[in-house]
Chain A
Amino acid sequence: MPWTRRHFLTIEELSRAEIEQVLATAGAFRRILDRRVKKVPALRGKTIVNLFLEPSTRTRISFEMAAKLLSAEVISFDADKSSTTKGETLKDTALNIQALHADMIVLRHSASGSPHYLSERLGIPVVNAGDGAHEHPTQAMLDVFTMREKLGPVKGRKVVILGDILFSRVARSNIHALTKLGANVTIVGPSTLVPPWFEPLGVTVSHNLRTALADADVVMLLRIQHERQAVGLFPSLGEYTSMFGLNQTRASWLKPDALIMHPGPINRGVEIDSALADSDRSVILQQVTNGIAVRMAVLYLCAGGQPEHVAPVE
């Protein structure tokens, strides 16, 4: 089955087969990353513009790295210096970038749905690098990629997502990816940050850390955003840590070989005990490395590449 999508906007719209295609393509690029010479010519002559209208370091560097390893030219667009501060609309900014002969736009934006909006107005592919509280599809792909690398198929596995789910695009994309692949997903955290409206997405909603973590194969932590306490969503970071922080005792409720994941940036001592973040069970930095391969795959596929054409051999 050929890859037919020009845009990479959400996990929700992908079929299970498409998710498998992305993961397989990422697998091929992941092997290339272990070579002495990592660069491939797949996107030579293409120019990719990273339009990051919301602050990001990890995701932007990861996309830049992925594009460079594919031999594409990369231009990253800094929100603070952009014409958006002069009143130009997103549409006009993007149309200008297209008129400047960019071949693809990677968009990070605080407004949910903005990649979808741009995709309907541009003739070039749009890749979602995170939109508001909606989706962060490449993050979910790299998370699933990492789980499969460590655990094998995720079907039937218990994955717990813990923390600020309400505002998390990472959680939403992971929920879609994991449920499509047959994992059992539990979301857990304070009732103000984990509302029951997630249930229609096929997950278990819990506020009880003990039952949630019991026999889990994976626990994925989300960063607690300090500013949330100011608006009364939870009392304090201290209260959060004592009720929901992952510490050694709580980690013992997981399966012995369970993975500890985090999309970063982490708050050591808040949502995760520092020693656990550095422990053997933590795959946090491997997630970051796998992110390059996943983003290489996404850029490659949206530029018209086909999964079977990625040279998987040394």
Chain B
Amino acid sequence: MIPMSELLWIKNGRVIDPATKRDGRGDVFAAGGRIVKSLTPAQRKSARVIDAAGLVVCPGLVDIHVHFREPGQTHKETILTGAQAAAAGGFTTVVCMPNTSPPIDNAGTLQLVLAAAAKAPVRVLTSACITVGMKGEQLAPHGTLKANGAVALTDDGLCIQSNELMRRAVEYARMFDLTVLDHCQDDSLTEKAVMNEGAVSTRLGLKGWPHAAEDIIVARNIILSHYSGAHIHMQHISSAMSVELVRRAKRDGIRVTAEATPHHIALTDEALASYDTNFKMNPPLRTEADRRAIITGLRDGTLDCIGTDHAPHSPDEKDREFDYAPNGIIGLETALPVCLDVLVRQSKFKLSHVIDLMTRRAAGVLKLPAGTLAPGAHADVCLFDPDEKWTYDATKGFSKSRNSPWHGQKLTGRVHATIVGGRVVHETGK
């Protein structure tokens, strides 16, 4: 449970809150777990004071795409360890994917997950399945799932292949104002595929996953959204053509949103030259042209937010021949420095723009009450030094897994403190 009574005074930081257009030196106050405009002199005396000089003070980061593996795969991650990793990365609100074992396709499993989530140090929300068992056959009870707390629907990596079923799913989910999150992949084009199809897969002799497989489903979803009026969110866009399809759809006023991962904006398929399975994920890393197109999509608003697709796998599971290793990498503890590096330093985004993509706009996709320091909002805050250099050691991270492409890398930008409901849940080095 998050204690709601603390008084908090965060002093002298550079406060950046895109939702309230705030960007400048100042203080942030919290009382009773909420952001307040100010504290009385008496309150200030008893408040916990955090000196944020030299730090950026922004809303706690929001990630609408994480895998916490509970129940069923707790050797990879638990809701607790995942939430600790989130806190270490500056995230205060995360949305879990329902591909647990069993999957979150019924109220009982959902309640089990939310009971564990209630004890976590950050706000752990969850999506639920579109179809029973994520089998793409029968709709899961969307209304019941919503009533029990699901914040979105998705069949996660098992993209619904039947256009008819997807149509009915988004029509039905719309009745409950539930967004459908889609991992866009036409399975018929990606059988046994393990990396992007192109010159690098050809050289490495690995089976390629053509971006056309993503583009076809993105186009399908745009058409179904247009047809039904339902909101469909495209997860982890990896292809330049998909960015362009979403751009056109938004221009046409179609209710679609889309996200990008830190790894798809930082890395390309060239990184696979040594068959390192910590660069294997789905959708795969693509070409430099795709990478640049995704960054452009984030710049012009085509892509709504950053989502990490934090996907833990145990060292044994990843220590396999490339073909046999599971897809996915962890990302919560490295997302902020990677985005600062790629978007701010390399691509000249304003710092407030990147914070916006990781807070207000991420929350906005699912209309979550998060991502702002406006008075009355949850006192969820991230304090970070945008210039601090540090070396990320995945073996010493908070996630139960280590499958990160940034293990051993020098990163710039480090979270110093994470605050949830006015309570400090993470401090660097503590």
Query: Which residues of A are interface residues toward B (Cβ below 8 A)?
Result: 12, 89-91, 109-114, 116-117, 131-135, 166, 169, 172, 195, 197-201
Contacts and interface: CB of A to CB of B under 8 A. Distances in A.
Q: Among the interface residues B197, B199, B202, B322, which one has the most CB atoms of the partner chain A within 10 A?
A: B202
A132 B320 contact: no
Interface string B134-166: 000000000000000000000000000000000
Given A131-B205, A201-B203, 12 more contacts: A12-B203, A90-B321, A112-B205, A112-B322, A113-B321, A134-B205, A135-B205, A172-B205, A195-B202, A197-B202, A198-B202, A199-B199
A195 B201 CA distance: 11
A199 B198 CA distance: 11
B274 interface: yes
Contacts of A201: 202-203
Contacts of A195: 202
A133 B205 contact: yes
A166 B201 CA distance: 10
A132 B206 CA distance: 8
B322 A113 contact: yes
B227 interface: no
Nearest to A231: B191
A115 to B, nearest CB: 10
B130 to A, nearest CB: 29
Contacts of A90: 320-321
Nearest to B277: A117
A113 B195 CA distance: 13
A169 B205 contact: yes
A91 B323 contact: no
A114 B323 CA distance: 9
B287 to A, nearest CB: 11
B176 interface: no
A62 B321 CA distance: 25
Interface of B: 197-199, 201-207, 274-275, 319-324
B275 A113 contact: yes
A111 B202 contact: no
A172 B201 CA distance: 12
Given A89-B320, A112-B275, A117-B322, A200 B205 contact: no
Contacts of B204: 112-113, 134
Contacts of B198: 197
B322 A111 contact: yes
Nearest to B195: A112
Contacts of B275: 112-113, 116-117
A195 B324 CA distance: 25
B199 to A, nearest CB: 4
24 contacts: A12-B203, A111-B321, A111-B322, A111-B324, A112-B206, A113-B206, A113-B321, A114-B321, A114-B322, A116-B274, A117-B275, A117-B322, A131-B205, A132-B205, A133-B205, A133-B206, A133-B207, A135-B205, A172-B203, A172-B205, A197-B197, A197-B198, A197-B199, A201-B202
Contacts of A199: 199
Nearest to A200: B199
Q: Among the interface residues B203, B204, B319, B321, which one has the most CB atoms of the partner chain A within 10 A?
A: B321
B319 A91 contact: yes
Nearest to A167: B205
A172 B320 CA distance: 23
User: Which 9 interchain pairs have the tightest Cβ spacing?
Assistant: A134-B205, A113-B275, A133-B205, A111-B321, A197-B202, A112-B205, A111-B323, A197-B199, A114-B321
A170 B198 CA distance: 19
A195 B197 CA distance: 11
Contacts of B319: 89, 91
Nearest to B198: A197
B285 to A, nearest CB: 16
Contacts of A166: 202
B321 A109 contact: yes
Contacts of B202: 166, 195, 197-198, 201
A202 B206 CA distance: 19
A197 B324 CA distance: 24
Contacts of A169: 205
B204 to A, nearest CB: 6
B321 A117 contact: yes
A112 to B, nearest CB: 4
A252 B221 CA distance: 54
Nearest to A197: B202
